């Protein structure tokens, strides 16, 4: 069955999926196919059934991975196979599965959903490629997950951070660079990884307007355009004009943000910049780079921006991801309801 996995991974490459995405599919599906072979003796994808998938998902919820280590593995596989072949009750199978709890840490519902997503996409590929005639993964319910509402900073806290940057970095030679980075995190809603990866040719400047766009290569090799306006544009331009040329002399790197030695910045350094930028501030939360992205989306929506517009700026492929931000401010939600509902 591994040959089908190889063909699936090749298809992902054709679709220009990122290396990390392909690697994660490979890990997840290797685990799944090993389970099918060792527990059920399934050697052909045509013989995969719903009970196989459901049993695998239950194991994940208890063990975290099928490919655990230890001498107990072979014994548990044998016992599990016998019980399933004898069509014993689910309670018997569950009791056996519980033995594995001492070996592996269980996966969270979110991780199980991610694993199941890989399985579903794999089976759709098999069906579409005419390797199978049925999709055994269809109609299998996924575990429910509690959506965590992201933390965000209010406008006053954002202002205090920008004011604090001038204090904590003082006369530092990195002051302009660090200020430009924080402005891009909040003013454009960029991920820390995207800030690190921005190249000079990603900046589109509109002549004589002191504004432009950023062309962002986001997740899955998808590009999006983000407006570069006002203070965000001005602070980025100051860094590019006065400081970056000094760092660029030491390397041929075309990334926008460079270290003193001319190397591309890392996400760890972005984290450190945020940590220093918020020192001695009495904030409700401890901000991370992604907190500024959450704040960017929240403030746009509170200001009346259309949900689809915010989705495009953030680069979300699914609008349900963007909708999380509509639940973040209870006071705002109440005010919208009172002002617009006829029976409020």
Q: Distance between CA atoms of 338 and 341, rounded to whole angstroms?
A: 6
**What is the band of 104 on the pLDDT scale with cuts at 50, 70, 90?**
low
Task: List, edge to edge, every strand of the sheet that includes 223-228.
Answer: 203-206, 211-217, 223-228
Q: How far is CA 17 from CA 14, 195, 217, in A?
A: 8, 20, 13
Greatest alpha-carbon pair distance for the chain in Å reads 78
The answer to whether residue 213 scores a pLDDT higher than 70 is: yes
Percent above pLDDT 70 for the chain: 81
The answer to whether residue 102 scores a pLDDT higher than 50 is: no
The pLDDT tens digits of the residues spanning 155-188 come to 999 999 999 999 999 989 999 999 999 999 999 9
The answer to whether residue 63 scores a pLDDT higher than 50 is: yes
Contact indicator for 283, 295 with CB cutoff of 8 Å: no
**What is the band of 222 on the pLDDT scale with cuts at 50, 70, 90?**
confident
Q: What is the DSSP string of 48-88?
A: --HHHHHHHHHHHHHHS-SS--STHHHHHHHHHHHHHHTT-
**What is the band of 23 on the pLDDT scale with cuts at 50, 70, 90?**
confident
User: 312-340: buried (b, 16+ CB within 10 Å) or exposed (e) per residue?
Assistant: ebbbbeeeeebebbbebbeeeeeeeeeee
The stretch 262-277 carries a mean pLDDT of 95
pTM: 0.68
Phi/psi for 212 (5° steps) reads 180, -150
Higher pLDDT, 243 or 70: 243
Contact indicator for 193, 199 with CB cutoff of 8 Å: no
Instruction: Tell me the average pLDDT of the chain.
Output: 84
The pLDDT tens digits of the residues spanning 65-78 come to 554 444 445 555 55
> In this structure, how many other beta carbons lie within 10 angstroms of the beta carbon of residue 185?
27
- State the DSSP code for 199: B
**What is the band of 342 on the pLDDT scale with cuts at 50, 70, 90?**
confident
Task: Give the catalytic positions in this structure.
Answer: 191, 219, 290, 293, 316, 325
Higher pLDDT, 29 or 144: 29
Contact indicator for 122, 8 with CB cutoff of 8 Å: yes
* CA 278 from centroid of its chain's CA atoms: 24
Q: Supply the pLDDT for residue 341.
A: 67
Higher pLDDT, 109 or 138: 138
Quick one: which of 287, 17, 2 has its CA closest to 154?
287
Which domains does the chain possess?
2-128 (no CATH), 155-339 (1.10.443.10)
- State the DSSP code for 240: I
Q: Distance between CA atoms of 136 and 215, rounded to whole angstroms?
A: 41
């Amino acid at each position: 069955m591994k040959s089908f996995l190889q063909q699936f991974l090749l298809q992902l490459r054709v679709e220009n999926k990122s290396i990390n995405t392909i690697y994660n599919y490979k890990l997840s599906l290797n685990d799944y196919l090993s389970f099918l072979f060792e527990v059920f003796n399934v050697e052909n994808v045509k013989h995969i059934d719903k009970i196989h998938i459901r049993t695998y998902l239950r194991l994940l919820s208890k063990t975290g991975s099928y490919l655990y280590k230890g001498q107990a593995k072979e014994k548990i596989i044998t016992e599990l196979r016998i019980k399933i072949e004898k069509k014993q009750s689910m309670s018997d199978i569950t009791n056996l599965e519980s033995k594995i709890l001492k070996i592996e840490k269980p996966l969270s519902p979110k991780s199980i959903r991610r694993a199941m997503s890989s399985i579903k996409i794999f089976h759709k590929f098999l069906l579409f490629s005419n390797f199978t005639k049925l999709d055994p993964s269809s109609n299998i319910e996924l575990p429910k997950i509690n959506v965590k509402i992201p933390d965000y900073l209010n406008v006053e806290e954002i202002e205090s951070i920008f004011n604090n940057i001038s204090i904590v970095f003082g006369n530092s030679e990195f002051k302009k660079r660090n200020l430009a980075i924080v402005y891009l995190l909040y003013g454009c809603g960029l991920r820390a990884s995207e800030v690190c990866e921005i190249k000079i040719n990603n900046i589109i400047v509109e002549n004589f307007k002191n504004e432009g766009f950023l062309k962002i290569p986001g997740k899955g090799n998808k590009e999006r355009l983000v407006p570069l306006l006002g203070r965000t544009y001005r602070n980025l331009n100051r860094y590019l004009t006065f400081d970056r040329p000094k760092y660029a002399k030491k390397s041929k790197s075309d990334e926008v943000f460079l270290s003193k030695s001319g190397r591309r910045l890392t996400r760890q350094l972005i984290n450190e910049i945020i940590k220093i930028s918020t020192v001695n501030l009495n904030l409700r939360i401890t901000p991370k780079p992604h907190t500024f992205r959450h704040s960017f989306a929240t403030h746009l929506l509170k200001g009346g921006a259309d949900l689809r517009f915010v989705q495009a700026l953030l680069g979300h492929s699914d609008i349900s991801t963007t909708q999380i931000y509509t639940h973040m401010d209870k006071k705002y939600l109440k005010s919208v309801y009172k002002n617009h509902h006829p029976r409020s």
